[in-house]
Structure 1
């Protein structure tokens, strides 16, 4: 009989219940279908009693941070407001487990906590797409990818939600074969299990029914040059079409102009940075391609009805 693997999940307050279920259920189903105890799992929290997830549900745990069991993998699972729960005891136990050689992974926003202490420096990592802008600003030394999960680094990371199930199915396949992994996915009625390299967000083509390669490339260049925006003429020249043709494509498929679409992308990123970081307004303005905080504030107010600092104040 194969010795079972033991996974410990450290639940950080306001953790994602969806990611939690997608982490544990594939392991349970693998045991059920195999007729063997392939996996064991336990839960831990800072107080050693319970953890409350973002939807208000309370989960009882087996261990506190000081009494973690020896395990084959430790996964850190957090959700919204993870920075508010980044405590000294939590960081201490992560460092201790790393010294002991315990493989440490992170689910949903957990990569942020690992990155804060340098665990992910020089590595690829995945985190929920809502945190991408602020994560890249905060941790430039981490190679953030838009993949659903990363399983080929020392620290495994999954972007949360059903991506956690994708990671667990990947581990089941790696440990016990593709047949069992597919059977678990079937039992979950999960017919679209993704490889690690799958992008998190629905593609532009899927969202808008777009199949025009020039438009897709134009939008990609916009996303790549937010800090130093290119003009529509420059983008058109790069992708090998005329400015007029570019205008027609944006009008036909997106009912907008290239200039307005690019401005909307920049403002969306600015809003994420205002909500997710403590960066100053001028820092955010520069990161989003605005030459001055005054110009940025005027454009932001016109788009969202509030000034940047008022936007931040609404969320405090």
Structure 2
């Protein structure tokens, strides 16, 4: 019986060992989103591809942000030899990273470990100087602070970033998407797709997917008129509101409206409105069976050719390629169907076994 192609993993290599460094008030959902794909990779492949351990600096229990207390597997002194380290951050990250954490992370990097982070854990890597010259992702609440504190690091609003031997993800379920990409690169896309199917994951998001950063977080509360205008735009993506009408709604002049957008959002109001419509169109293309003509219509485009032109200019690919490459049906198609007996039967057998277990589909995304 054939098995999943091991990808870049050399034959007979020991399982990849990953240490999850738990900081005080770390977010449990981010840890689970990173660990569960590893567990399922082992289950579906029928091999121990990964081992993982939780680590704290002194080996004592640590409190997650939801109040649950977690007893780690090891301390800095007792941790096994690791292939990768993932820093798990959460609430109040500025006070959670200590000098001991920094020194241990630096030592791990000197030994050639791959270094990763989830949620606000990127702050810990950056504080240790391990993200200088690298792209990184972090939870949107920490974006502005990291950009200010670590100018040598390219902090992006992407859901996750994989840059050479650094991999970082924002919070929530984004670490799952990142781990699925890493698993796919190491052991094949079929395995990653099968894991996604097990977790009811509609599609595997990629590095081009961005966090939805609340505008209030970017602007603060001192620009109520701009926030009101953007809210009106978001509520009227199909039937567009003229810019003069928008200005009138919030009692500013058209010229003032232009100034507000250029000063705080670094683009014209019409460009920002177009961006909102195109982002909405991308969501519909990826997450619904709506035709391209229907998507163009509900996003306020008068013609499909105009929609396609704008879409290509903004995202770099036409809508039809977006759908064919990213539609969830394509992801599921990589999972062998029962009548394809000559294609990775080990995966299908493992899926069938798992469906009979009480834990099947226990995680919903």
Q: How far apart are residue 190 of structure 1 and its match? A: 1.0
Q: 2:268 aligns with which of 222, 235, 239?
A: 235
Task: Report what 1:139 is aligned to.
Answer: 150
Secondary structure of the 2:62 match is strand
Q: Scaled by the length of structure 1, what TM-score is found? A: 0.66
| Cα distance in 1 between the residues matched to 2:62 and 2:261 | 38
| Cα distance in 1 between the residues matched to 2:108 and 2:167 | 15
Report which structure shows greater RCO (CA 8 Å, sep ≥6). Answer: 2
Structure 1 residues 152-191: Cα deviation after superposition (integer angstroms, max 9, x where no partner): 2332111121110011101110111111101101111111
The total of aligned residue pairs comes to 234
Q: How far apart are residue 87 of structure 1 and its match? A: 0.9
**Gap change, CA 1:161 and 1:224, over 3 Å in 2:** farther
2:48 matches 1:41: no
**Gap change, CA 1:214 and 1:103, over 3 Å in 2:** farther
Q: Is the 8 A contact 2:103 2:128 kept in 1?
A: no
Q: Superposition RMSD on alpha carbons, in Å?
A: 3.3
Secondary structure of the 2:53 match is strand
Q: How far apart are residue 38 of structure 1 and its match? A: 0.9
Secondary structure of the 1:101 match is coil
**Gap change, CA 1:189 and 1:99, over 3 Å in 2:** same
Which deviates more, 196-205 or 49-58? 196-205
Matches within 5 A, 1:5-24: 5-24=16-35
Q: How far apart are residue 2 of structure 1 and its match? A: 5.3
2:179 matches 1:168: yes
Task: Report what 1:61 is aligned to.
Answer: 72
Q: Is the 8 A contact 1:115 1:139 kept in 2?
A: yes
Q: Is the 8 A contact 1:43 1:63 kept in 2?
A: yes
Runs of 4+ in structure 1 deviating by more than 3 angstroms, as ranges, are 202-209, 211-215, 219-225, 238-241
Task: Report what 1:184 is aligned to.
Answer: 195
Uncovered stretches (5+) of structure 2, i.e. residues with no partner: 1-11, 215-229, 244-256, 274-298, 300-365
Matches within 5 A, 1:97-246: 97-201=108-212, 208=235, 210=237, 225-226=263-264, 235=268
Task: Report what 1:85 is aligned to.
Answer: 96
Q: Scaled by the length of structure 2, what TM-score is found? A: 0.58
| Cα distance in 2 between the residues matched to 1:126 and 1:223 | 26
**Gap change, CA 1:209 and 1:66, over 3 Å in 2:** farther
Uncovered stretches (5+) of structure 1, i.e. residues with no partner: 242-252, 254-316
